[in-house]
Amino acid sequence: MIKKEVKILESNSENKEIVNHQLSDLLILITQIAYQYNMDFDLELKKWFKKSKKYLE
């Protein structure tokens, strides 16, 4: 399922509307997978943003 969404994204990389839609679809799929595996997705995002903050400064 994710491969299909990525393929659509890659083949339409110049179309901002499709890119935005596909990225949203991928985010929802990842969130659903995290829920299915009882993962604390919020905690993982917080850790990621904390680590990546140093690269943004």
Whether pTM > 0.85 for this model: the answer is: no
pLDDT at position 6 is 92
* Under 8 Å between Cβ of 5 and 26: yes
Give the Cα separation of 7 and 5 in Å (integer).
5
For residue 21, give the nearest of 33, 32, 34, 5 by alpha carbon.
5
pLDDT digits (tens, 9 = 90+) for 7-45: 999 999 999 999 999 999 999 999 999 999 999 988 998
